[in-house]
């Protein structure tokens, strides 16, 4: 399944979320977050928020299709990129926090896929013209991830009061700054993504680009493994709510009826 428009992206994500709720599939956590962000980007394109709105729509579709390709490959028993395989494999585990599942998807998709999509949409000398719209996405993501922080408090707080209170305190502190902690994380990942796009734009030939992408895939895999190393914290916290379908519904609230 591949998208050609932003509406296609939303429809495909709707399908993944609905199927995930029915199957208690934790892959629905990231899909719910991604759908929310995509709907916000779509609204921004429709409102003319970007310097080049048609190009931003194509960029978002190209970016999303890397996720759909990985999702389909994994479902068919084929091998997606290593970070996506680790991320999807982790969805079978019940000892990770919802937050970890979200971070796995965000780390993989932003750190590896985003720069590749940017370089494809604005290749070579055209890349600098994409910079301001690329950065504008940070603001939109921060808006949505701030809401997700509140939802994580709800998800964890219902099942584990001590951890729920800890997240509340974290959220209060994070919102005391101009950017939330999640926003800072997103900015850091996007900085890596932009660096990747620049390297790809400057690469002299396809072989050099392939080598750059392979190196980024290795680095992203290490970052994913670091997220997975949060197991001791999860064990102490108790893991959070195990109601997978219910958690997805909280994350997808306002996106589609479930």
60-107 confidence digits (pLDDT tens): 999 999 999 999 999 999 999 999 999 999 999 988 888 889 889 999
Residue 237 covered by a domain: yes
Residue 256 covered by a domain: no
Domain span at 96: 6-251
Share of the chain above pLDDT 70, in %: 76
Nearest in space to 12 (alpha carbons), one of 45, 42, 35: 35
Residue 61 covered by a domain: yes
Share of the chain above pLDDT 90, in %: 60
Is 159 a residue whose pLDDT tops 90? no
Q: Which residue has the higher pLDDT, 231 or 104?
A: 104
What tokens does 64 get?
A: 């999303």
pLDDT of the residue at 176: 44
Q: How many domains in the chain? A: 1
Residue 107 covered by a domain: yes
pLDDT of the residue at 157: 55
Minimum mean pLDDT range among 46-60, 117-131, 147-161, 203-217: 147-161
Tell me the whole-structure pTM to 2 decimals.
Answer: 0.85
> What does the pLDDT average to over 39-53?
95
Residue 1 covered by a domain: no
Residue-wise burial string across 73-106, b where 16 or more C-beta atoms lie within 10 A, e elsewhere? bbeeeeebbbbbbbbbebbeeeebbbbbbbbbbb
pLDDT band at 182 (very low <50, low <70, confident <90, very high): low
Residue 257 covered by a domain: no
Minimum mean pLDDT range among 35-44, 187-196, 204-213: 187-196
Inter-residue long-range contacts of 68-77, CB under 8 Å, 24+ positions, other chains counted: 68/1, 68/2, 68/3, 68/12, 69/2, 71/16, 71/27, 72/1
Instruction: Give per-residue pLDDT as tens, 4-44.
Output: 999 999 999 999 999 999 999 999 999 999 999 999 999 99
pLDDT of the residue at 237: 43
Is 46 a residue whose pLDDT tops 70? yes
Nearest in space to 11 (alpha carbons), one of 35, 37, 43, 33: 35
Instruction: Give per-residue pLDDT as tens, 241-255.
Output: 578 998 888 888 766
């Amino acid at each position: 399944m591949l998208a050609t428009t932003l509406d296609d992206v939303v429809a495909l994500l709707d399908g993944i979320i609905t199927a995930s709720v029915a199957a208690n599939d934790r892959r629905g956590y990231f899909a719910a977050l991604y759908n929310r962000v995509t709907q916000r980007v779509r609204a921004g394109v429709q409102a003319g928020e970007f310097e080049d709105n048609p190009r931003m729509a194509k960029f978002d579709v190209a970016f999303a299709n890397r996720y759909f390709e990985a999702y389909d490959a994994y479902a068919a028993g084929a091998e997606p990129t290593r970070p996506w395989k680790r991320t999807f494999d982790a969805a079978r585990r019940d000892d990770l926090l919802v937050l970890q599942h979200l971070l796995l998807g965000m780390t993989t998709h932003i750190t590896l896929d985003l720069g590749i999509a940017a370089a494809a949409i604005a290749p070579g000398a055209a890349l600098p013209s994409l910079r301001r719209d690329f950065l504008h996405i940070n603001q939109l993501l921060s808006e949505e991830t701030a809401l997700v922080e509140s939802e994580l408090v709800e998800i964890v707080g219902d099942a584990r009061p001590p951890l729920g209170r800890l997240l509340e305190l974290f959220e209060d502190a994070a919102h005391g700054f101009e950017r939330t902690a999640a926003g800072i994380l997103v900015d850091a990942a996007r900085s890596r993504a932009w660096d990747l796009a620049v390297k790809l734009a400057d690469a002299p030939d396809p072989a050099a680009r392939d080598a750059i992408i392979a190196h980024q895939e290795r680095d992203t895999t290490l970052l994913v493994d670091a997220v997975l190393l949060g197991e001791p914290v999860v064990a102490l916290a108790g893991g959070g709510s195990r109601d997978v379908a219910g958690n997805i519904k909280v994350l997808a609230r306002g996106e589609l009826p479930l």
